[in-house]
Amino acid sequence: MTDNSPEFDLIARHFTRPAANAVLGVGDDCALVDITNGMDLAVSTDTMVSGTHFFPDVPPENLGHKALAVNLSDMAAMGAMPYWAMLALTVPTVDHGWLAAFAKGFFDLAEEFSVSLIGGDTTRGPLSLTITIMGEVPMGAALRRNGAKAGNDVWVSGNIGDAALAVAHRNGRLVLGEEDYHEAVMRLYEPTPRVRLGQALRGLATSAIDISDGLLGDLGHICRLSGVGATVDLGAIPLSPIGAKHVATKAGLTTILAGGDDYELCFTASPNSRDSIAELTDVLGVPLTRIGQVKRGKGVSLMGSDGKPVRIDGRGYDHFSGA
Protein backbone atom coordinates (compact mmCIF):
# COMPACT_ATOMS: atom_id res chain seq x y z
CA MET A 1 0.00 0.00 0.00
CA THR A 2 1.06 3.63 -0.44
CA ASP A 3 1.06 6.27 2.26
CA ASN A 4 -2.07 7.92 0.88
CA SER A 5 -4.10 4.74 0.30
CA PRO A 6 -7.50 4.49 2.00
CA GLU A 7 -6.20 1.57 4.06
CA PHE A 8 -3.26 3.58 5.40
CA ASP A 9 -5.57 6.50 6.10
CA LEU A 10 -8.00 4.22 7.94
CA ILE A 11 -5.25 2.74 10.14
CA ALA A 12 -3.71 6.15 10.80
CA ARG A 13 -7.06 7.75 11.67
CA HIS A 14 -8.60 5.10 13.82
CA PHE A 15 -6.05 2.61 15.07
CA THR A 16 -2.76 4.40 15.63
CA ARG A 17 -2.22 5.44 19.23
CA PRO A 18 0.93 5.63 21.33
CA ALA A 19 1.79 2.11 22.51
CA ALA A 20 3.10 2.72 26.00
CA ASN A 21 3.92 -0.92 26.70
CA ALA A 22 5.71 -1.74 23.46
CA VAL A 23 9.17 -1.13 22.03
CA LEU A 24 7.48 -0.52 18.65
CA GLY A 25 3.75 -0.28 17.88
CA VAL A 26 1.65 0.20 14.73
CA GLY A 27 3.44 1.17 11.52
CA ASP A 28 6.29 -1.23 10.80
CA ASP A 29 6.33 -4.81 9.51
CA CYS A 30 6.19 -6.18 13.03
CA ALA A 31 5.59 -4.76 16.46
CA LEU A 32 8.30 -5.28 19.08
CA VAL A 33 7.70 -6.07 22.72
CA ASP A 34 10.00 -6.70 25.63
CA ILE A 35 9.17 -9.73 27.77
CA THR A 36 9.96 -9.52 31.48
CA ASN A 37 12.44 -12.08 32.84
CA GLY A 38 10.80 -14.88 34.76
CA MET A 39 7.47 -14.46 32.97
CA ASP A 40 5.71 -16.71 30.49
CA LEU A 41 4.14 -15.01 27.46
CA ALA A 42 0.37 -15.71 27.45
CA VAL A 43 -1.21 -15.48 23.98
CA SER A 44 -4.80 -15.93 22.85
CA THR A 45 -6.90 -15.19 19.75
CA ASP A 46 -10.66 -14.79 19.38
CA THR A 47 -12.62 -14.18 16.20
CA MET A 48 -16.07 -12.61 16.09
CA VAL A 49 -18.13 -13.04 12.92
CA SER A 50 -21.18 -10.91 12.18
CA GLY A 51 -24.37 -12.95 12.50
CA THR A 52 -22.63 -15.70 14.46
CA HIS A 53 -21.06 -13.91 17.43
CA PHE A 54 -22.99 -10.67 17.31
CA PHE A 55 -26.18 -9.29 15.82
CA PRO A 56 -25.32 -7.26 12.67
CA ASP A 57 -27.08 -4.23 14.21
CA VAL A 58 -24.90 -4.11 17.35
CA PRO A 59 -23.80 -0.51 17.98
CA PRO A 60 -20.13 -0.29 16.84
CA GLU A 61 -18.96 1.18 20.14
CA ASN A 62 -20.36 -1.86 21.98
CA LEU A 63 -18.74 -4.15 19.43
CA GLY A 64 -15.32 -2.53 19.95
CA HIS A 65 -15.70 -3.08 23.68
CA LYS A 66 -16.87 -6.65 23.32
CA ALA A 67 -14.20 -7.74 20.84
CA LEU A 68 -11.49 -6.70 23.29
CA ALA A 69 -13.41 -7.82 26.40
CA VAL A 70 -13.69 -11.44 25.27
CA ASN A 71 -9.94 -11.52 24.72
CA LEU A 72 -9.20 -9.88 28.07
CA SER A 73 -11.44 -12.53 29.58
CA ASP A 74 -9.10 -15.24 28.27
CA MET A 75 -6.19 -13.46 29.95
CA ALA A 76 -8.26 -13.33 33.15
CA ALA A 77 -9.02 -17.04 32.99
CA MET A 78 -5.28 -17.75 32.79
CA GLY A 79 -4.34 -15.39 35.62
CA ALA A 80 -2.31 -13.34 33.13
CA MET A 81 -1.65 -9.61 32.99
CA PRO A 82 -2.64 -8.32 29.52
CA TYR A 83 -0.33 -5.84 27.76
CA TRP A 84 -0.57 -6.02 23.98
CA ALA A 85 -3.32 -6.54 21.41
CA MET A 86 -3.38 -7.06 17.62
CA LEU A 87 -6.54 -6.30 15.65
CA ALA A 88 -7.38 -7.97 12.33
CA LEU A 89 -10.41 -6.17 11.00
CA THR A 90 -12.48 -7.10 7.95
CA VAL A 91 -15.09 -4.50 6.97
CA PRO A 92 -17.45 -4.42 3.98
CA THR A 93 -17.05 -0.66 3.42
CA VAL A 94 -14.99 2.18 4.86
CA ASP A 95 -17.48 3.97 7.08
CA HIS A 96 -15.51 6.45 9.19
CA GLY A 97 -18.39 7.08 11.58
CA TRP A 98 -18.67 3.35 12.25
CA LEU A 99 -14.90 2.94 12.58
CA ALA A 100 -14.57 5.89 14.96
CA ALA A 101 -17.29 4.48 17.23
CA PHE A 102 -15.77 0.99 17.09
CA ALA A 103 -12.33 2.41 17.94
CA LYS A 104 -13.80 4.39 20.86
CA GLY A 105 -15.32 1.24 22.39
CA PHE A 106 -12.08 -0.63 21.86
CA PHE A 107 -9.70 2.03 23.21
CA ASP A 108 -11.86 3.00 26.19
CA LEU A 109 -11.58 -0.57 27.46
CA ALA A 110 -7.93 -0.88 26.39
CA GLU A 111 -7.06 2.19 28.47
CA GLU A 112 -8.91 0.84 31.48
CA PHE A 113 -6.57 -2.17 31.45
CA SER A 114 -3.45 -0.37 30.11
CA VAL A 115 -3.43 -2.55 27.00
CA SER A 116 -1.69 -1.19 23.88
CA LEU A 117 -2.88 -1.90 20.33
CA ILE A 118 0.44 -2.72 18.64
CA GLY A 119 -0.64 -3.85 15.18
CA GLY A 120 -3.12 -5.71 13.06
CA ASP A 121 -4.43 -6.08 9.57
CA THR A 122 -7.23 -4.39 7.64
CA THR A 123 -9.13 -6.02 4.79
CA ARG A 124 -12.41 -5.65 2.93
CA GLY A 125 -15.08 -8.34 3.19
CA PRO A 126 -17.98 -9.47 5.38
CA LEU A 127 -17.66 -7.87 8.84
CA SER A 128 -15.44 -9.90 11.13
CA LEU A 129 -12.92 -9.13 13.85
CA THR A 130 -10.00 -11.10 15.15
CA ILE A 131 -8.06 -9.91 18.16
CA THR A 132 -4.89 -11.49 19.42
CA ILE A 133 -4.05 -10.57 22.96
CA MET A 134 -0.73 -11.06 24.68
CA GLY A 135 0.27 -10.73 28.28
CA GLU A 136 2.51 -12.10 30.98
CA VAL A 137 2.11 -14.55 33.81
CA PRO A 138 4.85 -15.60 36.26
CA MET A 139 6.45 -18.83 35.04
CA GLY A 140 4.48 -21.85 36.19
CA ALA A 141 1.74 -19.77 37.86
CA ALA A 142 -0.88 -19.71 35.06
CA LEU A 143 -4.37 -20.92 35.96
CA ARG A 144 -4.98 -23.92 33.74
CA ARG A 145 -8.06 -26.01 33.02
CA ASN A 146 -6.51 -29.28 34.12
CA GLY A 147 -5.83 -28.81 37.83
CA ALA A 148 -9.22 -29.51 39.47
CA LYS A 149 -9.09 -32.16 42.23
CA ALA A 150 -11.88 -34.25 43.78
CA GLY A 151 -12.98 -32.46 46.95
CA ASN A 152 -12.34 -28.96 45.52
CA ASP A 153 -15.11 -26.37 45.59
CA VAL A 154 -16.51 -24.97 42.33
CA TRP A 155 -16.81 -21.17 42.28
CA VAL A 156 -18.21 -18.63 39.88
CA SER A 157 -17.81 -14.83 39.72
CA GLY A 158 -20.61 -12.30 39.23
CA ASN A 159 -23.94 -13.67 38.09
CA ILE A 160 -24.84 -15.95 35.24
CA GLY A 161 -27.29 -15.92 32.36
CA ASP A 162 -28.29 -12.35 31.56
CA ALA A 163 -26.38 -12.10 28.26
CA ALA A 164 -27.82 -15.40 27.06
CA LEU A 165 -31.32 -14.31 28.11
CA ALA A 166 -30.94 -11.26 25.86
CA VAL A 167 -29.94 -13.49 22.94
CA ALA A 168 -32.83 -15.86 23.63
CA HIS A 169 -35.23 -12.92 23.66
CA ARG A 170 -33.89 -11.70 20.31
CA ASN A 171 -34.23 -15.20 18.87
CA GLY A 172 -37.80 -15.58 20.19
CA ARG A 173 -37.03 -18.48 22.53
CA LEU A 174 -38.41 -16.53 25.50
CA VAL A 175 -39.72 -13.09 26.24
CA LEU A 176 -38.13 -10.50 28.53
CA GLY A 177 -39.90 -7.33 29.61
CA GLU A 178 -38.64 -4.25 27.76
CA GLU A 179 -36.60 -2.88 30.68
CA ASP A 180 -35.14 -6.29 31.47
CA TYR A 181 -34.13 -6.74 27.84
CA HIS A 182 -32.30 -3.41 27.78
CA GLU A 183 -30.43 -4.31 30.95
CA ALA A 184 -29.63 -7.85 29.81
CA VAL A 185 -28.45 -6.78 26.37
CA MET A 186 -25.84 -4.52 27.97
CA ARG A 187 -24.41 -7.62 29.67
CA LEU A 188 -24.24 -9.15 26.19
CA TYR A 189 -22.68 -6.09 24.57
CA GLU A 190 -20.35 -5.00 27.34
CA PRO A 191 -19.17 -7.92 29.43
CA THR A 192 -16.79 -7.12 32.29
CA PRO A 193 -13.57 -9.10 31.91
CA ARG A 194 -12.44 -10.32 35.36
CA VAL A 195 -8.78 -9.52 34.80
CA ARG A 196 -7.89 -8.48 38.36
CA LEU A 197 -9.74 -11.45 39.80
CA GLY A 198 -7.83 -13.86 37.55
CA GLN A 199 -4.50 -12.52 38.77
CA ALA A 200 -5.65 -12.60 42.40
CA LEU A 201 -6.59 -16.27 42.00
CA ARG A 202 -3.01 -17.33 41.19
CA GLY A 203 -1.98 -19.72 43.93
CA LEU A 204 -5.60 -20.11 45.11
CA ALA A 205 -7.52 -21.62 42.19
CA THR A 206 -6.56 -25.13 41.10
CA SER A 207 -8.18 -24.57 37.69
CA ALA A 208 -10.08 -21.82 35.89
CA ILE A 209 -11.99 -21.07 32.70
CA ASP A 210 -13.97 -18.08 31.48
CA ILE A 211 -17.61 -18.75 30.67
CA SER A 212 -18.11 -18.08 26.99
CA ASP A 213 -20.19 -21.07 25.94
CA GLY A 214 -22.31 -21.68 29.04
CA LEU A 215 -21.56 -22.49 32.69
CA LEU A 216 -22.21 -26.22 32.49
CA GLY A 217 -20.35 -26.74 29.22
CA ASP A 218 -17.34 -24.71 30.31
CA LEU A 219 -17.18 -26.41 33.71
CA GLY A 220 -17.38 -29.63 31.68
CA HIS A 221 -14.12 -28.61 29.94
CA ILE A 222 -12.40 -28.26 33.32
CA CYS A 223 -13.71 -31.69 34.35
CA ARG A 224 -12.65 -33.42 31.14
CA LEU A 225 -9.15 -31.95 31.22
CA SER A 226 -8.75 -32.58 34.95
CA GLY A 227 -10.08 -36.17 34.79
CA VAL A 228 -12.81 -35.47 37.35
CA GLY A 229 -16.56 -34.83 37.55
CA ALA A 230 -18.53 -32.11 39.32
CA THR A 231 -21.93 -31.51 40.87
CA VAL A 232 -23.51 -28.07 40.73
CA ASP A 233 -26.24 -26.97 43.12
CA LEU A 234 -28.88 -25.21 41.03
CA GLY A 235 -30.10 -23.14 43.97
CA ALA A 236 -26.59 -21.78 44.60
CA ILE A 237 -26.02 -20.37 41.11
CA PRO A 238 -25.88 -16.57 41.35
CA LEU A 239 -28.57 -14.88 39.25
CA SER A 240 -29.55 -11.30 38.63
CA PRO A 241 -33.16 -10.29 39.36
CA ILE A 242 -33.78 -10.89 35.63
CA GLY A 243 -32.32 -14.40 35.80
CA ALA A 244 -34.37 -15.14 38.91
CA LYS A 245 -37.57 -14.37 36.98
CA HIS A 246 -36.78 -16.92 34.27
CA VAL A 247 -34.88 -19.74 35.96
CA ALA A 248 -38.07 -21.66 36.77
CA THR A 249 -39.01 -22.11 33.11
CA LYS A 250 -37.39 -24.76 30.95
CA ALA A 251 -36.27 -22.28 28.29
CA GLY A 252 -34.98 -19.89 30.96
CA LEU A 253 -33.03 -22.57 32.82
CA THR A 254 -31.42 -23.92 29.65
CA THR A 255 -30.54 -20.44 28.48
CA ILE A 256 -28.99 -19.40 31.79
CA LEU A 257 -26.88 -22.53 32.22
CA ALA A 258 -25.97 -23.36 28.64
CA GLY A 259 -26.33 -20.07 26.74
CA GLY A 260 -22.96 -18.49 27.41
CA ASP A 261 -21.55 -15.01 26.73
CA ASP A 262 -21.20 -14.45 30.48
CA TYR A 263 -17.43 -13.87 30.55
CA GLU A 264 -17.45 -14.61 34.25
CA LEU A 265 -14.78 -16.90 35.69
CA CYS A 266 -15.56 -20.44 36.81
CA PHE A 267 -12.80 -21.91 38.96
CA THR A 268 -12.03 -24.64 41.44
CA ALA A 269 -10.17 -24.37 44.74
CA SER A 270 -9.46 -26.31 47.89
CA PRO A 271 -11.96 -25.81 50.74
CA ASN A 272 -8.93 -24.51 52.73
CA SER A 273 -8.96 -21.44 50.47
CA ARG A 274 -12.57 -20.44 51.25
CA ASP A 275 -11.66 -17.53 53.55
CA SER A 276 -9.02 -16.14 51.20
CA ILE A 277 -11.45 -16.32 48.27
CA ALA A 278 -14.24 -14.70 50.28
CA GLU A 279 -11.84 -11.82 51.08
CA LEU A 280 -11.34 -11.23 47.35
CA THR A 281 -15.01 -10.36 47.05
CA ASP A 282 -14.42 -7.37 49.33
CA VAL A 283 -11.03 -6.38 47.95
CA LEU A 284 -12.07 -6.53 44.29
CA GLY A 285 -15.77 -5.79 44.63
CA VAL A 286 -16.64 -8.90 42.62
CA PRO A 287 -19.21 -11.34 44.02
CA LEU A 288 -17.79 -14.87 44.27
CA THR A 289 -20.16 -17.77 44.90
CA ARG A 290 -19.53 -21.41 45.73
CA ILE A 291 -21.84 -23.44 43.48
CA GLY A 292 -20.70 -27.03 43.77
CA GLN A 293 -18.08 -29.68 44.29
CA VAL A 294 -15.51 -31.52 42.25
CA LYS A 295 -16.02 -35.29 42.47
CA ARG A 296 -14.27 -38.39 41.31
CA GLY A 297 -15.74 -39.61 38.02
CA LYS A 298 -16.85 -37.79 34.88
CA GLY A 299 -19.21 -35.06 33.71
CA VAL A 300 -21.17 -32.27 35.36
CA SER A 301 -24.43 -33.01 37.13
CA LEU A 302 -26.88 -30.38 38.22
CA MET A 303 -28.72 -30.88 41.53
CA GLY A 304 -32.12 -29.38 42.33
CA SER A 305 -33.15 -28.13 45.76
CA ASP A 306 -34.67 -31.57 46.44
CA GLY A 307 -31.22 -33.13 45.96
CA LYS A 308 -32.32 -34.85 42.75
CA PRO A 309 -30.51 -34.40 39.43
CA VAL A 310 -31.98 -31.84 37.00
CA ARG A 311 -31.60 -32.51 33.27
CA ILE A 312 -31.20 -29.69 30.81
CA ASP A 313 -31.06 -29.81 27.03
CA GLY A 314 -28.12 -27.67 25.99
CA ARG A 315 -24.51 -28.15 27.05
CA GLY A 316 -22.89 -25.01 25.73
CA TYR A 317 -22.55 -23.47 22.35
CA ASP A 318 -20.65 -25.54 19.81
CA HIS A 319 -20.05 -24.02 16.37
CA PHE A 320 -19.69 -27.41 14.72
CA SER A 321 -22.49 -29.30 16.40
CA GLY A 322 -24.58 -29.18 13.22
CA ALA A 323 -27.61 -27.87 15.13
Q: Which residues pair with 89 in a beta bridge?
A: 122, 129
Among 120, 198, 220, 314, binds ligand ADP (CB under 6 A): 120
Rounded to whole angstroms, the Cα distance separating 145 from 167 reads: 27
Residue 64 lies near ligand ADP (rule: CB under 6 A): no
- Which parts of this chain interact with Mg ion (CB under 5 A)? 121
Among 70, 72, 78, 89, binds ligand ADP (CB under 6 A): 89
117 contacts which partner out of ligand ADP, Mg ion, none, CB within 5 to 8 A by kind? Answer: ligand ADP
Q: Where are the alpha helices (DSSP H) in the chain?
A: 6-14, 60-78, 96-112, 162-170, 178-189, 195-200, 215-226, 241-246, 250-258, 274-284
The closest alpha carbon to 72, from 224, 263, 274, 286, belongs to: 263
102 contacts which partner out of Mg ion, ligand ADP, none, CB within 5 to 8 A by kind? Answer: none
Among 2, 4, 18, 28, binds ligand ADP (CB under 6 A): 28
Distances (CA, A) of 56 to 41, 63, 188, 263: 34, 10, 14, 21
Residue 127 lies near ligand ADP (rule: CB under 6 A): no
238 close to 158: Cβ distance less than 8 angstroms: yes
Compare residues 1 and 278 and give the one whose CB is closer to ligand ADP: 1
Compare residues 111 and 121 and give the one whose CB is closer to Mg ion: 121
Backbone φ and ψ for 39, nearest 5 degrees, come out as -110, 145
Print the binding letters for residues 31-60 with ligand ADP: x by CB under 6 A, - otherwise.
------------------------------
Among 69, 117, 148, 222, binds ligand ADP (CB under 6 A): 117
